Each structure stands twice: as C-alpha cells, then as structure tokens.
Amino acid sequence: QVQLVESGGGLVQAGGSLRLSCAASGRTFSMYAMGWFRQSPGKSREFVAAISGNGDRSYYADSVKGRFAISRDNAKNTVYLQMNILKPADTAVYYCAAVYRSDRLWVGLTSHDYDDWGQGTQVTVSS
C-alpha cells in the first residue's frame, strides 16, 4: 500500500495549462503502475491517463489525447500530469491512483484496476 498526495490543481482560463503532481510514499515506487482519473459533479469517475511502472507505456483517454501528458520520476516517487489547452469540460477533481504490479510494463485503464487513491485536487477551467 502507498499513500498518495496530489497537488497542482487550481483555477485556469480556457487554453491555459496546469501540471498536477502526485507524490507517493514507500521505497518501491517503480513497481507501481499509476493512473490519473477525474470526477465532476453528477458524473462517475473517468479514466484520464495511465503509465507503467518503468514509464515505458502510457495510455490516454480520447478526450485528452494530444493535450495531456503523463510522466513519472521514480527517483522522486512522483507522477505528473501535464495538462495543456485546457477546456471547461476538463473541470473536475483529479485523482491519482496506484497499484502494485510485478510486471513493470502493465498499465491499468479502469478504476477497478487500482488499489490506492489520493484525496484529489480540484481543477477548474473558466471559459
């Protein structure tokens, strides 16, 4: 189990950028596949992006492909989500998630794939 703490959310105008960070506890961070999800009021939690333990594989939701980039720094136990060309539809609480996998190329694409979750950080995009 890891503890996850997100940061970097805030208020931004449409077309702007934000970078979210998720810091994880523990000493085996590279063994954890990581994901970002988001949830807006009245909607279910949705997949945004995911990255494998070694960082070699990443996947994105179609709605953010080409605008968002997920990355990780295993030496710093941190995963990032760079969000560019933000739209009002991106407004949501963004959650970081982690799951231990011995296969460091494995990537999870649904919320059920993950065991540990952060508290979330609010992203608001104004029009």
| Mean pLDDT score, 73-97 | 98
Answer yes or no: is pLDDT of 26 > 90. Answer: no
Q: Is the CB of residue 35 less than 8 Å from the CB of residue 108?
A: yes
Q: Residue 57 above 90 pLDDT? A: yes
**pLDDT of amino acid 62:** 98
The mean predicted confidence, pLDDT, of the chain is: 97
> Is 122 in contact with 9 (CB distance < 8 Å)?
yes
Beta bridge mates, 46: 38
The model's confidence at residue 122, banded by pLDDT at 50, 70 and 90, is very high
Bridge partner list, 58: 51
Q: What is the 3-state secondary structure (H, E, C) of 39-105?
A: ECCCCCCEEEEEECCCCCCEEECCCCCCCEEEEEECCCCEEEEEECCCCHHHCEEEEEEEEECCCCC
